[in-house]
Structure formats: C-alpha cells, structure tokens
Amino acid sequence: MKLTRGGHACIRLERDGVVIVVDPGNYSDPRVLDGAHAVLVTHEHPDHFDEPVLRAAAASDPALRIWANRSVAGRLDGLGGGRVHVIGDGDSFDIDGIGVQAHGELHAPTHPDLPQVTNVGFLVDETVFHPGDAFTVPTVPVDTLLLPLHGPWSKAGEVVDYLREIKPRLALSIHDGALSPSGNALMDGLLDLVVRGSATDYARVTDTGAIELV
C-alpha cells in the first residue's frame, strides 16, 4: 500500500488501483482527491472536512463514495445515489476489496465550554489507523499509526502516551499544520527519543512525500 500526505491530517492510500482519501480538509491540497474512489471523514471540523471541496469532487465524479459519521453525512445531504454512508464505532465495510473498520465515538475534549463532537477513526486494510482528533485505542493491533502531533485538544505528553499505548510497528506524523518548522522539529526530536530502543519506528512524511507500507 502506498501512503501519500495530502496536507495536515489528510492521507491518500493506494492499493491495487484503489484510492482512498482520509480527511480532506481546508489545510489539504484539493488535488489529493483526483482519481479517488472513496473518501473517509473522521469528523466535521474544517481542517478534516472541507465541504465545498468534497462536494465539487463528488460532482465531478459520480462514482465517488463517502463514509462518515451522521453529522458529516447530514451536511452532504443531496448528493444522492446512496453515495454517502453513515458509520459509527464498531462498523466495518469494504471498499473494492479493501476492508475498513470504524473505531471511536468522540473528539478529544478541548475545553469544557466547547462542544465535544462525534469523531470516528478508521483502520484501513487491517494496517493503517487514522484516529482523527482523538486518542482512540482500537480493539485490534495497529501496524501503522497516523499520529496526530499537535492540536488545541492535545499536549506533547499525551501524544507520547498514546504512541506507547498503541505500540505500532510504525508511527507516521499527521495533524501538524499549525506547527512551525521549529515546532515540527521539536516534536520529531521528542518522538525519535521516545521510540529509541523500542519496537516502534517513527517517521515524518512531508506533504509532498510518499511511503510504501509493507
């Protein structure tokens, strides 16, 4: 499976000619949706769900399908043709031979004054887990964890604890669009130190880079 960063929290996965895009938001390059067969959306925040861009992609490709929680699906009302599928924690489905499992229910809390929206993470092909904006621990092992490095809902120590709890073979950086180059370097150094001597490897994938997962 080939993994490409689409910017911030957006990831493009390709296997056997099937293209799945996760969380194309307003920090993402809209071209990440070119040729996509399916889109997975973890939650409604705009850095994960750019409604106009996703609607435009759906309009240009009538075969494009979308899986999301009820809140996001409701905002895509009108696409028609059974193209938008509502999913929640514990659901599983198939995208042209690639299995996907949904894990998690809520966005990580940011502040008591702010609503805690629904958030569902996706385990793709029993290999790659995108948690969205949460520290969800799936009920099955995770080989490759897409690790959210920074957000108003997290701190560095929580990112470290989450990585240690999941214990993936490989952790890849995502959700770093609000960090400066110095901030990203700081987080990379911290995580490199944390995984040293463990069974986990950590790597940064740039917004123009790709990695082959084995």
> What pLDDT score does 81 carry?
73
The CATH class that applies to domain 2-205 reads alpha beta
β-bridge partners, 66? 39, 84
Lowest mean pLDDT among 36-40, 60-64, 181-185, 210-214: 210-214
Torsion sign, CA atoms 37, 88, 103, 159: positive
Q: What percent of the chain has pLDDT over 70?
A: 100
Q: What is the pLDDT of residues 174-206, one digit of tens each?
A: 999 999 999 999 999 999 999 999 999 999 988
Q: What is the pLDDT of residues 96-137, one digit of tens each?
A: 999 999 999 999 999 999 999 999 999 999 999 999 999 999
Token pair for 21: 């895009």
